[in-house]
Amino acid sequence: MNRRTFLGSMLAVPAFAQPSAPRVNGARLRERIEALSIFGRPDGGTFADGVSRVAYSDADVAGRAYVMKLIEGLGLKPRVDAAGNIFALRPGTNGTLPPVLFGSHIDSVPNGGNFDGDLGSLGAIEVLQTMNEAHIATRRGVELVVWQNEEGYAFNNGLAGSRAAAGHLEAGELDAVWNGMKKSDAIRKIGGNPERIAEAKRGPGTFACYLELHIEQGGTLERAGIPIGVVEGIVAIDRYDVEVRGFANHAGTTPMAERRDALVAASMLTIAVNDTVRAEPGKQVGTVGQLNVIPNVPNIVPGTVRMVVELRDLDAKKIAAIGERLQARAREIAAKTGTEIVMRPAAHHDAALANPQVQSSIEAACAGLGLKSQRLPSGAGHDAQMMALLGPMGMIFVPSVRGISHSPLEFTRWEDCARGADVLMATVLDWAMR
């Protein structure tokens, strides 16, 4: 080839069509997402029936064992820290540099889907395996993490493992009891050591950057026809435990005027959450997603209702103000219904912004792979928001079909899963070679 033809052929191939990172094995990633889905699958169900792999359940323990076996298959030794998070470090050539940390979670909400957390965890394993197969040596180490109890259905407080790593556990949290189980025992059940939980703390500067691949869980990317989302920031989340105390009495003999019906009051409060959140412009959201009616018997006026109010927005002050307005509404409703309503803050997670350099690196990875990308906020909470307290953080989103998540109908096309893992691979390598 003469010089002119050579230069011509270089020009004919745009730079973005020359990925410097190897591509992941999308078929293997799919097989593993399908294999993990067995742990927590409803009896007699299929992949399409989703998963209930609530943190600390037997299904969670079995799923974690499956993941640790995959890690061993990479020639790495999984390490379970005192909080119960799973780590695996693939060393770099310079052992003095902080590694690139990346991963997600494998616990699910009850009746959840097969992609939330699982894609980022198994995608991270796929990245490591692809690096092994391509015999890539990195300057920095690359470290995989699978966080425990991201969802926070158990103990009504999520990001449990990443909060321990960020030193954000709450006072007395290990003594909390949920479903008859003490949190310290739950941590023991997954191989952690609650007595030494302080050792799970990672200081600032213990990683070069934190990356998390995740499904979008909303419909923005699918609507726009864009395969990769580059997260700008993650919302703040406030949760309140609410107890409505009425009086349980005979449903046939208690006149309407004499009732102190806890469910009527709880219903009014639920409507108040919806109205208060909608009353001002913005993207804030508010939900009552959990309600326990006691005694929950058809012919007894409900005596007690326990419910959880959850508020989210990128602006933490905005949801704090809405929380105060709801406290006032709760007092009015209690007076009107002859009940007592106690609304107690249960969990607060700060909003977190992604690091601009990490965002640019993800965008460069997309360009290198010839993939369009778009910046967008995350309405879902992620362990990444805790890691943002310790170092540069970035997240890679892939489209959720019909924007459905926290549902067995949650689905991300397999080619989009592989694309997301390719972008993760290229971004990890970019940072690992710095």
- Residues at the interface with Mn ion (CB under 5 A): 116-117
Least CB distance to Mn ion at residue 188 (A) = 24
> Least distance to ligand GLV from the beta carbon of 195, Å?
28
Cβ proximity to ligand GLV, 229 vs 381, nearer residue = 381
CB of residue 158 vs ligand GLV: minimum separation in angstroms?
Answer: 6
φ/ψ bin of 351: left (φ > 0), alpha (ψ from -120 to 50), beta (otherwise) = beta
Q: What is the DSSP string of 179-245?
A: TTEEHHHHHHHTT--GGGGGGG---TTSSSEEEEEEE--SSHHHHHT-SEEEEEEE-EEEEEEEEEE
Distance CA 234, CA 313 (A): 9
Our finding on whether 383 is near ligand GLV (CB under 6 A) is no
In the complex, what is the shortest distance from the CB of residue 226 to ligand GLV, in angstroms, rounded to a whole number? Answer: 22
Q: How far is the CB of 227 from ligand GLV (least distance, A)?
A: 21
Whole-number minimum distance, CB 116 to ligand GLV, in Å? 6
Among 92, 302, 381, 408, binds ligand GLV (CB under 6 A): 381
| Amino acid at residue number 229 | G
Q: Mask: binding to ligand GLV, 43-62, rule CB under 6 A, as x and -?
A: --------------------
- Give the C-alpha separation, 60 to 143, whole Å: 22
- In the block, tokens 């960020």 appear at 166
List beta partners, residue 305.
244, 293
Dihedral, 174, 177, 182, 183 alpha carbons, nearest 10? -40
* H-helix segments, 283-391: 316-337, 356-368, 384-387
Among 169, 288, 346, 380, binds ligand GLV (CB under 6 A): 380
User: Where would I find the H helices in 251-291?
Assistant: 262-278
Among 60, 118, 126, 151, indicate the residue that binds ligand GLV (CB under 6 A).
151
User: What character string, x for contact with ligand GLV (CB under 6 A) and - otherwise, covers 345-374?
Assistant: ------------------------------
Identify the CA nearest to 21 among candidates 425, 327, 434, 433. 425
CA distance 165 to 159: 10
Between 267 and 405, CB nearer to ligand GLV: 405
381, interface contact from ligand GLV, Mn ion, none, CB < 5-8 Å by kind: ligand GLV
Binder of residue 346, out of Mn ion, ligand GLV, none (CB less than 5 to 8 A by kind): none
Residues that bind ligand GLV (CB under 6 A): 151, 380-381
